[in-house]
Structure 1
């Protein structure tokens, strides 16, 4: 897969990643609770499949590039009250759900989910099964920090039903690791991958980040070589989002040499061209999967979906979030839990659905969400099919926005004709930019987004 650097440089502007539409900065704190509860009731008139997201915020140390919602400290005394609150939240929310709904997917994110002890992992896995009915083939995934994972924790994860793991690596270069406050020798990652394979985990993803201090195209290529030797099933390789106005700890990285735009573009070019030559499919938006992976098959079949965890193979699934800052994503509603630990612990004892921020989609939001997600996941919108599904003549509805794509068509990013809009192979590298003209909320809060490259 060839990467045109001058073309990518032209479109390097701030923009959303479109894990939702509207995006999280547009959630509101004044949505009436009764409207939220009515939306939950409406969502549970049928036994639609469920996905559960569980946020474990604890980390022993802070990685200075991190943009996640975390609680930092080696003191584990906060963990037990938090687990009790998760159990109570699951109990309360489960009462609202259709009793025949089955969980087809669970994702533990963080923070560091493997901050939990083996006993806590087993206990939480059992409590989930107490409150919910799991499908026999449920995907149960966890984000793993190889620096502090033990073989005992791996066995506990297997006992609790986990079958997929995502390993945070970011970079193997010692100088980069020291600059970002994350010391993780490659041998440590290699050992953990071996443990997970021996335990029977069916899928292993590796997270990397480019754009960190002291990285160059050649040093990052060395990291790629080392990680490829582990034969992961998927990669998620993100460009570092420097947003110190949101995450003040990132200012610490400014003491070091950050790669300039041209170096970051060269790294992206090397990543894409190398992984696609090594048998990985570029799924889009930083994600890569082997040719026989379920993610690749979903992309080929047009059943790929996108949510706050990235790309997913499961269509028609509602996500219910648990834990501080977690987001529930159901038809017509986004709902975010309190972001601070004390507020979450207090509110979860008072409300079945503690609301920090929420968003109820308008008819226009639903139409634009379907359009943007089709571009993000299928790279194609058929006008006839979209008009039938959305109840509007989409070519007329988006007449102005489609005209805005003319420069992108001239640059070979999209093809537009009477039948529909298609993103070209070179345009798939710039999906965020192609979606932005259809975002009615974009003008507000643009500074809150990272650059698209």
Structure 2
């Protein structure tokens, strides 16, 4: 097994529990409707570098496993209307920041961002560039998620000309029976053609998403999928654990419970993924993510500059995230602000001349400290307590004394080592990093701020 990660199935089976993924701290169930557009405006810092996220919610077909905020439709007029409102929101967001606030990152997610046609995408990108200053192509990271079933080589070349330089492809599994069971038939040739076209077009980075735990999956099907993924040689690979929660996501009710692999099979598939990808030269970044050693994520982790946000791991830590579109979440200057989750309320707020913020949070000093702790553990698998104390002008060891004491049990289980100055997560503790972070979560297990807003978390492994 790769020296930076050790797969211990007995330990994982014993310790896995439901808990947050910590794309934010505090987690989204702590957001309150008391936070509104005025609070976001007050938090804005003109001139600070930015990361932009744009949410395009539309998809042509339903993938049964999907837990994203999406709208399944073939009515293209819906996208026309949405774009009009989205551009109006962009105008309002841009007004909060100086014209010279440099956009270092841009990410289009969904839904399926390429639901927009070439002209619509060009208009939207042109509008963004007219409102924000963008970093040059050789230093900025401008990414988009694509569906290889609906995007051909010509479209990929157009996306590159339009300014995107990173591409993410949903694959999930190459096995046809598995694809049929989740209503996502995607021949291998389409994925290979998309990757080839992206390389020819000059995309700097190509990422593939996989999921383990889908219906009809087993170790043999996952092994065959890994053969094909490794042969395609993407720069980054994400391997997500499918969380089956049909009570929350109606589309998952279309998946038959009897087709789902049992817990032992899921663990075996995870172990296979780790072993095969690390043997192929990929570095385990953490929380489902693998990257080639020369990828920016791997370099940032080695340098101690890796960051985690609502899109996962990132190389740009000191930027505010401005998120546009239905359900999108901004993270600006110690605040979180989430837009309306449904189209009509989103449109109504914009028609009233308001930013479409429906809820959010102003982080306290304690929140900021604990967020820093969780960030460093998630990204570095270590925490330097004197450095933490210096950053926040506090005696971190004293303030977190009860949490550090609780780590003794995890230390006995071999997840970490603890000294007066440092927490160091072990190779076999890295897969259970969420368990370690939960010790420092002052909200976990407490009632949410707003009734009926409690999140149902996936298992930590």
Match of 2:55?
Answer: 55
Q: Match for residue 383 of structure 1?
A: 385
Off by >3 Å, runs of 4+ in structure 1: 32-36, 444-447
The answer to whether structure 1 residue 449 and structure 2 residue 457 are counterparts is yes
Structure 1 residues 179 and 86, CA gap change in structure 2 (3 angstroms): same
Shift of 1:192: 1.1
Q: Structure 1 residues 255, 423: closer, same or farther in 2, change over 3 A? A: closer
State the partner residue of 1:92.
92
Equivalent of 2:330 in 328, 331, 351: 328
Task: Describe the superposition over 1:23-50 as per-residue Cα deviations: whole angstroms up to 9, x where unpaired.
Answer: 112211122544333222xx33xx2211
Whether the 8 Å contact between 1:213 and 1:253 is mirrored in structure 2 is: yes
Q: Matched residue of 2:259: which SS? A: coil
Residue among 253, 256, 259 paired with 2:255: 253
Q: Distance in 1 between matches of 2:382 and 2:229?
A: 32
Instruction: State the match for 1:119 in structure 2.
Output: 119
Shift of 1:109: 0.2
- 253-262 or 111-120: which moved more? 253-262
Deviation at 1:332, TM superposition (A): 1.1
Q: 1:109 maps to which residue?
A: 109
Please state how far the C-alpha of 1:391 moved relative to its aligned partner.
2.0
Equivalent residue, structure 2, for 1:77: 77
Q: CA deviation at 1:156?
A: 2.2
Runs of at least 5 residues in structure 1 that lack an aligned partner in the other structure: none
Question: Residue 155 of structure 1: CA displacement?
Answer: 2.5
Q: How does 1:80-229 map to 2 (within 5 A)?
A: 80-136=80-136, 137-229=139-231
* Cα separation, 1, equivalents of 2:455 and 2:325: 27
Deviation at 1:256, TM superposition (A): 4.2
> Among residues 402, 405, 414, which one is paired with 1:403 in the alignment?
405
Say if 1:13 and 1:452, in contact at 8 Å, map to a contact too: yes
Name the SS of the counterpart of 1:408 in structure 2.
helix
Could you say which residue in structure 1 is the equivalent of 2:7? 3
Q: Deviations over 1:267-295 (max 9, x none)?
A: 11111111111100000000000011111
Q: In the aligned structure 2, how far is the partner of 1:410 from the partner of 1:327?
A: 38
Residue range with higher mean Cα deviation, 117-126 or 151-160: 151-160
Q: TM-score with structure 2 length normalisation? A: 0.95
Matched, 1:30 2:34: yes
**Counterparts of 1:63 and 1:447 in 2: how far apart (Å)?**
22
Provide the aligned C-alpha RMSD in A: 1.3
Alignment check: 8 A CA contact 1:14 1:447 kept: no
Alpha-carbon distance in 1 for matches of 2:37, 2:296:
38
Distance 2:113 2:39 in 1: 32
Unaligned runs of 5+ in 2: 449-453
Matches within 5 A, 1:217-366: 217-366=219-368
Q: Take 1:351 and 1:411, find their aligned partners in 2: how far apart are those partners?
A: 55
1:231-256: CA deviations, max 9, x gaps? 10000110001122221221221354
- Name the structure 1 match of 2:65: 65
Give the superposition deviation at 1:424.
Answer: 1.4
TM-score, with length taken from structure 1: 0.97
The DSSP-based 3-state class of the residue aligned with 1:325 is: coil
Using the TM superposition, give the Cα deviation of residue 300 of structure 1 relative to its aligned residue in structure 2, in angstroms: 0.4
Q: Is the 8 A contact 1:121 1:156 kept in 2?
A: no
Q: Secondary structure at 2:460's aligned position in 1?
A: coil
Q: Which sits farther off after the overlay, 105-114 or 353-362?
A: 353-362
Q: Distance in 1 between matches of 2:414 and 2:90?
A: 48
Deviation at 1:447, TM superposition (A): 5.6
Q: What is the CA–CA distance in structure 2 between the aligned matches of 1:94 and 1:352, rounded to whole Å? A: 13
**Structure 2 CA distance, aligned partners of 1:129 and 1:447?**
36
